[in-house]
Amino acid sequence: MLIGLGGGAASSMASGDSAEDLDFASVQRQNPEIQRRCQEVIDRCWGLGEHNPIAFIHDVGAGGLSNALPELVKDGGRGGRLNCALCRMTNPE
């Protein structure tokens, strides 16, 4: 089951113009088990103090890396350059 996929596409359509399967797939739903597992990883890493391997966490939504990375750079009070041509894609279309 696809959950939370296609949200950017679905939210950009006029109401009633999208297919029912896209509407269903694009709605994000809670998944308590996955949330618990992710939180355990974050908690364990946080517990490592200075050795925490997590530098930052960001939701990479419909905008992908071209949106998430500039937001992280800005939030860090830095400047940067991103060459999107060097990013690997799962779907080159």
Per-residue pLDDT tens digits for 20-57? 555 555 566 678 898 899 999 999 999 999 999 998 88
26: which residues sit within 8 A by CB, 6+ positions away? 4, 5, 6, 7, 9, 10, 11, 18
Count Cα atoms within 13 angstroms, Cβ side, for 14.
Answer: 1
The residue-averaged pLDDT of 1-24 equals 53
pLDDT of 62 > 70? The answer is yes
Does this model's pTM top 0.85? My answer is no
Question: At 2, is the pLDDT very low, low, confident or very high (cuts 50, 70, 90)?
Answer: very low
Identify the residue whose tokens are 């694009």: 26
Number of H helices and number of E strands within the chain? 4, 0
